[in-house]
């Protein structure tokens, strides 16, 4: 486990504790990331995956990136609605992603960030 994984687990543990209520901080941050694609999240993702080998991602068009952003945003909105229930779901999903670091998640982040130019700047 790398330092970024530990830090992310701590943050989402706090979100799990304060997430018992009508507002899910993890979902709000997720929606903000998908909408604005801040540079800090790309750095977190790169550090989270560290030296893990990821299969190459084919060229992505701008429309594919926009479509992925829309689907991802709507999925996070759905999680936000489900999180209103007494048990926070988003931190559990985040724990699984942080611990297992699935290839599909890094590919999704790459598709979402494709048209920003951030990827090329950090490569």
**What residue spans define the domains of the chain?**
3-122
First-residue to last-residue Cα distance in the chain: 23
Q: What is the mean pLDDT of residues 75-83?
A: 91
Furthest C-alpha separation in the chain: 42
Residue 123 has pLDDT above 70, yes or no: no
Q: What is the mean pLDDT of the chain?
A: 89
| pTM (predicted TM-score) | 0.87
Q: What is the pLDDT of residues 4-49, one digit of tens each?
A: 999 999 999 998 888 766 788 899 999 999 999 999 999 999 999 9
The pLDDT score that the predictor gives to residue 121 is 67
Look at residue 44 and give its three-state secondary structure: helix
Rounded CA-CA distance 75/3 in Å is 28
Q: What is the pLDDT of residues 86-121, one digit of tens each?
A: 777 889 999 999 999 999 999 999 999 988 888 766
């Amino acid at each position: 486990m790398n330092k970024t994984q530990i830090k992310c687990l701590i943050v989402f543990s706090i979100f799990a504790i304060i997430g018992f209520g009508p507002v899910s901080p993890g979902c709000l941050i997720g929606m903000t990331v998908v909408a604005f694609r801040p540079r800090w999240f790309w750095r977190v993702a790169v550090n989270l995956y560290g030296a893990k080998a990821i299969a190459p991602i084919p060229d992505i068009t701008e429309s594919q990136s926009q479509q992925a952003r829309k689907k991802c945003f709507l999925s996070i909105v759905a999680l936000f609605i489900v999180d209103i229930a007494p048990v926070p779901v988003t931190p559990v999903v985040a724990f699984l992603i942080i611990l297992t670091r699935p290839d599909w998640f890094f590919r999704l982040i790459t598709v979402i960030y494709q048209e920003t130019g951030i990827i090329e700047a950090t490569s």
